[in-house]
């Protein structure tokens, strides 16, 4: 062996974390709390054609687009994924995601289930986490409490939620959002465990062994 310093070094590429679940489950709340706890975790802002809710800021919560603007993004292949959900478009601008991962930073996508499954086709190595409500009754209560949805929209969202929950089998992890803090701690534990996976270290181990032999 030589005297070369034995350093594993940082991972060359960050980890993509995809958090999704039915509307009203608290994805945004959990994601915001998680980012406050994990300062190095980068948030990917999605684009949408739905109207902003009270307190939401363009470029922070979402990139709010008209249908015409969004359709132009689709045609120009500027989205990692996109989907139409309850009459509105949602999508992930791909340039920011790729750039962040290549810088070795972890990035979290908070997106709808349709979009998450599309991302999985392109990034099967990502971490896919499904956020589940404590119960369907609690989910409906959360949607109603918003006070921003009509009766018909609530009915549509609950019907869509049942369909989406049935797709949770395609995810790596399922977390019940009973308490935001507890949900965040579980997600943090998952991320730490994923960073310690053998397949993430094995290429570096082999490379360093070859260097010192």
The average confidence (pLDDT) of the chain is 87
Q: How far is residue 149 from each of residues 40, 51, 152, 155, 192, measured CA to CA in Å?
A: 34, 12, 8, 10, 37
The architecture (CATH level 2) of 16-212 comes to 3-Layer(aba) Sandwich (3.40)
Using the structure block, give the residue that is written with the tokens 């979009």.
Answer: 115
- How do residues 33-74 score in pLDDT, each as one tens digit? 999 999 899 999 889 999 999 999 998 888 999 999 999 999
CA distance 212 to 83: 50
Q: What is the 3-state secondary structure (H, E, C) of 121-177?
A: HHCCCCEEEEEECCCHHHHHHHHHHHCCCCHHHHHHHHHHHHHHHHHHHHCCEEEEC
* Domain ranges (residues) in the chain: 16-212
- How do residues 5-19 score in pLDDT, each as one tens digit? 445 555 578 899 999
Q: Please answer whether residues 111 and 119 qualify as being in contact, where contact means their C-beta atoms are separated by less than 8 angstroms.
A: yes
Q: Please answer whether residues 116 and 168 qualify as being in contact, where contact means their C-beta atoms are separated by less than 8 angstroms.
A: no
Could you tell me where the DSSP H helices lie in 21-135? Answer: 27-37, 67-75, 94-102, 113-122
Percent of the chain with pLDDT over 70: 93
Q: Which residues have C-beta within 8 Å of that of residue 36, sequence separation ≥ 6?
A: none
């Amino acid at each position: 062996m030589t005297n070369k310093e034995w350093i594993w070094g940082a991972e060359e590429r960050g980890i993509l974390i995809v958090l999704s679940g039915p509307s009203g489950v608290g994805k945004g709340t959990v994601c915001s709390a998680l980012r406050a706890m994990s300062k190095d975790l980068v948030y990917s802002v999605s684009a949408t054609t739905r109207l902003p809710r009270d307190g939401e800021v363009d470029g922070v919560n979402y990139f709010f687009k008209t249908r015409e603007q969004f359709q132009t993004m689709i045609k120009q292949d500027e989205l990692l994924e996109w989907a139409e959900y309850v009459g509105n478009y949602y999508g992930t601008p791909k340039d920011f995601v790729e750039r962040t991962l290549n810088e070795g930073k972890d990035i979290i996508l908070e997106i709808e289930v349709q979009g998450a499954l599309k991302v999985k086709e392109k990034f099967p190595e990502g971490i896919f986490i499904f956020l589940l409500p404590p119960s369907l009754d609690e989910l409906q209560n959360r949607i109603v409490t918003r006070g921003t949805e009509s009766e018909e929209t609530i009915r549509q969202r609950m019907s869509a939620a049942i369909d989406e929950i049935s797709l949770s089998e395609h995810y790596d992890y399922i977390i019940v959002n009973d308490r935001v803090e507890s949900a965040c701690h579980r997600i943090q534990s998952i991320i730490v465990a994923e960073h310690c996976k053998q397949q993430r270290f094995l290429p570096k181990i082999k490379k360093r062994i070859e260097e010192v032999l």
